[in-house]
A and B are shown apart, each in its own frame.
Chain A
């Protein structure tokens, strides 16, 4: 037995608490779940702009010779797509059995500098995994977990405009930034990425600048939003959450992530042979609850025509004002199907849809 583990805190912890945030333990981190109303924060991001403290996520810099070849072996997506400086790529990192060690974003800045941003809960495992792989490949580049950096996600239809109001000196470098590209501006990395289905930036900056940067954004009209809204936003956007929609025992092919697995070249990435021999066994689709008998939640079982399935993420969608879910379903399941979900011993009717549910403020499923 170990004693109580003190949760880790981000540089914005005191500010969150002073702002009246409800704090929760999130993967060993003391994080804000909301600042009053999760649903209002959700709507603020869909309609205007919100800012999330995601400094619990881990920046890892890979610098030196051979990084590209290393990542072509370590990642299921192909960093060969990253040629222009600042280009970003979403990828899974697999184990030999084809399970997902983590999902991450890889950024390319120079041939001898790539940056990964990985999940908080898996950061230590990831770093150990990457280090042991580096050793086995005899590579010499350095691998640096950047614990001196904070990360803010500024998201919403007016996020970029308000970000530029708060940080006018970034305007030149970020105005023309295309989606899934990042710019280095002074001490900041500004990336046009996100986890909400809205436009916006994810910004890596020195931890020492986190508080003043947060305040500048709030002064520019950006609403603080907690991890609660972040979860309902990403669910509506049909984006997977590691540890819930997939984990180290789940194939990306069964978690709706086939589009991120690049099998085009003969590249021998870790997990490839397992994926190819195992094939796809499930379809990963969305569910919309019909009627109002409860709320869809992770682990509820789904009865489909072709057999049993399981919800991996579910909640109430503030935008649809209905309960929605992501689910692992039998291979023959398809959008338009009707299924039954067991919600507290009651079978409730749900409709199968193709995620995303919402993108850029618009409802895509009816």
Chain B
């Protein structure tokens, strides 16, 4: 399973990466894109939206099925990756490069409470 060690993960198959400005990029894992198959639609949340931990903030649709994207923790959406709207297949090509949205956590330490690569691997298999 492709699983960068420097990222954090959720049981609902998101990955999260802290950026230099303190925001956190979120996408879906390689395992998730593989399960979904060819991705044909990504809907990311609107910047400015306040979200709670575990709230559904967007959706990924493959030829096969629709799957919600969740907020890993409470915060404010600060950016959405508009590129994926026109080229959703980028999620299949490199799931860990295809960030879907950036969130500014209400509590910076919440990121560290997410799963690490080993724990995610265990939860996903």
Q: How far is the CB of B57 from chain A (nearest CB, A)?
A: 13
Are A292 and B64 in touch, CB under 8 angstroms? no
Binary CB contact string for chain B from 43 to 70 against chain A (1 if under 8 A, 0 otherwise): 1000000000000000101011010000
Q: How far is the CB of B34 from chain A (nearest CB, A)?
A: 8
Are A38 and B64 in touch, CB under 8 angstroms? yes
Are B37 and A295 in touch, CB under 8 angstroms? no
Question: What are 12 pairs between A and B in contact, CB < 8 Å?
Answer: A37-B92, A38-B38, A38-B63, A39-B63, A292-B85, A294-B59, A294-B61, A294-B66, A295-B40, A315-B63, A316-B61, A316-B63
A351 at the B interface (CB under 8 A): no
Size bracket, chain B contacts: 10 to 19
Are B38 and A37 in touch, CB under 8 angstroms? yes
Size bracket, chain A contacts: 10 to 19
Interface of A is mostly: mixed
The residues of A that contact B40 with a CB separation of less than 8 Å are: 295, 316, 323
Q: Using CB atoms, name the residue of chain B closest to A318.
A: B63
Binding site for A on B (CB under 8 A): 34, 37-38, 40-41, 43, 59, 61, 63-64, 66, 85, 92
The residues of B that contact A294 with a CB separation of less than 8 Å are: 41, 43, 59, 61, 66
A272 at the B interface (CB under 8 A): no
Q: How far is the CB of A323 from chain B (nearest CB, A)?
A: 8
With the chains together, A344 CA to B34 CA distance in Å? Answer: 23
Are A39 and B59 in touch, CB under 8 angstroms? no
Are A228 and B41 in touch, CB under 8 angstroms? no
Binary CB contact string for chain A from 23 to 40 against chain B (1 if under 8 A, 0 otherwise): 000000000011001110
Q: Using CB atoms, name the residue of chain A closest to B38.
A: A39
Are A344 and B66 in touch, CB under 8 angstroms? yes
A354 at the B interface (CB under 8 A): no
With the chains together, A232 CA to B61 CA distance in Å? Answer: 15
A359 at the B interface (CB under 8 A): no
Pick the most buried of A39, A228, A232: most chain B CB atoms within 10 A of its CB: A39
Q: How far is the CB of B94 from chain A (nearest CB, A)?
A: 15
With the chains together, A323 CA to B40 CA distance in Å? Answer: 9
